[in-house]
Chains A and B, each alone.
Chain A
Amino acid sequence: MNEKLEILGDPEAESCDGEFCELPAHREQAVMNRRVDEDRI
């Protein structure tokens, strides 16, 4: 990364890098957990 830029925010935020645009594995689990929680509500 260019040294002129100070990087802010969540470094694991979803992005497309190359051809694939997957969720990071731990974030997939977090989304699944959130859905389970929402289903309970």
Chain B
Amino acid sequence: MSEPIKVDVWSDIACPWCFIGKRKFEAGAAEFGGEVEVEYHSFELSPDTPVDFDGTEQDYLLTRGFPADRIDGMLARVTGIAESVGLHYDYDALQHTNTVLAHQLIHYAKAHGRQLEMTERLLAAYFEQGRHVGRVDDLADLAAEVGFDRDDVVRSLRANEYLDAVRADQALAVEYGIQGVPFFVIDGKYGVSGAQDAATFANVLTQVRDEKAAVG
């Protein structure tokens, strides 16, 4: 039996293409059919975002200089593409926030062997359910829903237990030259940027498997 193919994924919770790309990658991995080991890594798209932003996503984009006449159209297009992969984005309910604590929670979950489940829960909470993913108590609620000890999560987040791990991921992203997310590093050798089609992921995984088989 061959070893699983390692896929390292840099992403942010507040990244619409990361959730869409996650679904497309999962479809590609299923199409590929072989064993894949996925590990998520932290990437903050907007680290200076306040934890409690008082306004809608449209308001947030306006504060960042996004052209007002293009915001609704852009969000509608992203929402439509999300729907095409089975995701139901709700930008009216979305609560824009800083994601550094959410990344720490993902590292907490990784240390406890449930990173993928926590990542999925956070993305769905943010984009589909209008849940806040920037405050300790809200994150602890989400962690408890996944099955973690709520009090221990609160302790970990308040102590910034995994902040160094977040920063290490970000440093590695810089080392790789990653500027946008999602970004997939496959077998430490190939880089795939963005929410690619499922077939692209399947093809890359197949290529890696064939190359590994060829070298024995």
A37 interface residue, CB < 8 Å from B? no
B45 interface residue, CB < 8 Å from A? yes
Contact B17 A6 (CB under 8 A): no
Interface of chain A residues 2 through 40 with chain B (CB within 8 A):
2, 4-23, 28, 31, 35
How many residue pairs link A and B with beta carbons under 8 A? The number is: 94
CA of A1 to CA of B61, assembled, Å: 28
Contact B15 A16 (CB under 8 A): yes
How many residues of A sit at the interface, in one of the four size bands? Answer: 20 to 34
SS of B interface (majority): mixed
Interface of chain B residues 155 through 196 with chain A (CB within 8 A):
175-177, 179-183, 185, 188-196
Chain A residues in the interface with B (C-beta under 8 A): 1-2, 4-23, 28, 31, 35
Leading 6 A-B pairs by shortest Cβ distance: A13-B194, A17-B180, A15-B194, A5-B191, A15-B180, A1-B177
Chain B residues in the interface with A (C-beta under 8 A): 12, 15-18, 20-21, 45-46, 61, 64, 66, 74, 77-78, 80-81, 175-177, 179-183, 185, 188-197, 200, 204, 207
